[in-house]
């Protein structure tokens, strides 16, 4: 299997960097994959961040959910000077909130599987 992967990479002029490459398999036992011809070892990981979304081996979305809430809080704190400014209309503040804070919190939310405990937060 790894030989086929390396051959496909080489067709496109790419090289597999075994020190940077990691893999994750959901529900699989953790074991490293040794590449053929002594080209190194691909390590197994239990969680990975892809497109700023944390994916865990067991499918638990709670860490990602908590990260999104914290990122939303950080965005809100950076906007405090605008949101408390009397010269900015409430309508503009609402648009800024929806565009920056709400979109930050709900990024990739369609992939979350919420539990009752998480909905209460």
Least confident of 3-17, 60-74, 87-101: 3-17
pTM of the model: 0.57
User: What is the mean pLDDT of the segment spanning 7-23?
Assistant: 82
What was the pLDDT predicted at 78? Answer: 93
- Is the pLDDT reported for residue 104 higher than 80? yes
**Among the listed residues 30, 25, 31, 33, the one whose alpha carbon sits nearest the alpha carbon of residue 55:** 25
Task: Find all residues with CB under 8 Å of 66, minimum gap 6, and list them.
Answer: none
Q: For residues 103 and 64, what is the distance between their CA atoms, to the nearest angstrom?
A: 15
Question: What pLDDT does 114 receive?
Answer: 66
Per-domain residue ranges of the chain: 2-45, 58-120
Residues 67, 64: Cα–Cα separation, whole Å = 5
Q: Do 96 and 82 contact (CB within 8 A), yes or no?
A: yes
Strand, helix or coil for residue 49 = strand
Residue with tokens 């075994």: 18
- Mean pLDDT of the residues in the chain: 81
Q: Write the pLDDT tens digit of every residue in 26-82.
A: 776 778 877 777 777 888 888 887 777 777 777 777 788 888 889 999 999 999 999
Residue 118 is predicted with a pLDDT of 63
């Amino acid at each position: 299997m790894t030989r086929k992967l390396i051959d496909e990479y080489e067709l496109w002029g790419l090289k597999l960097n075994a020190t940077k490459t990691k893999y994750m398999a959901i529900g699989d036992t953790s074991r490293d994959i040794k590449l053929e011809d002594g080209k190194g070892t691909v390590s197994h990981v239990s969680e990975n961040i892809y497109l700023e979304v944390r994916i865990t081996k067991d499918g638990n979305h709670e860490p990602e959910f908590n990260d999104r809430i914290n990122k939303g809080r950080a965005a809100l704190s950076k906007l405090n000077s605008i949101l408390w400014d009397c010269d900015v209309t409430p309508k503009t503040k609402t648009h800024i909130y929806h565009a920056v804070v709400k979109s930050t919190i709900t990024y990739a939310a369609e992939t979350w599987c919420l539990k009752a405990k998480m909905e209460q937060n």
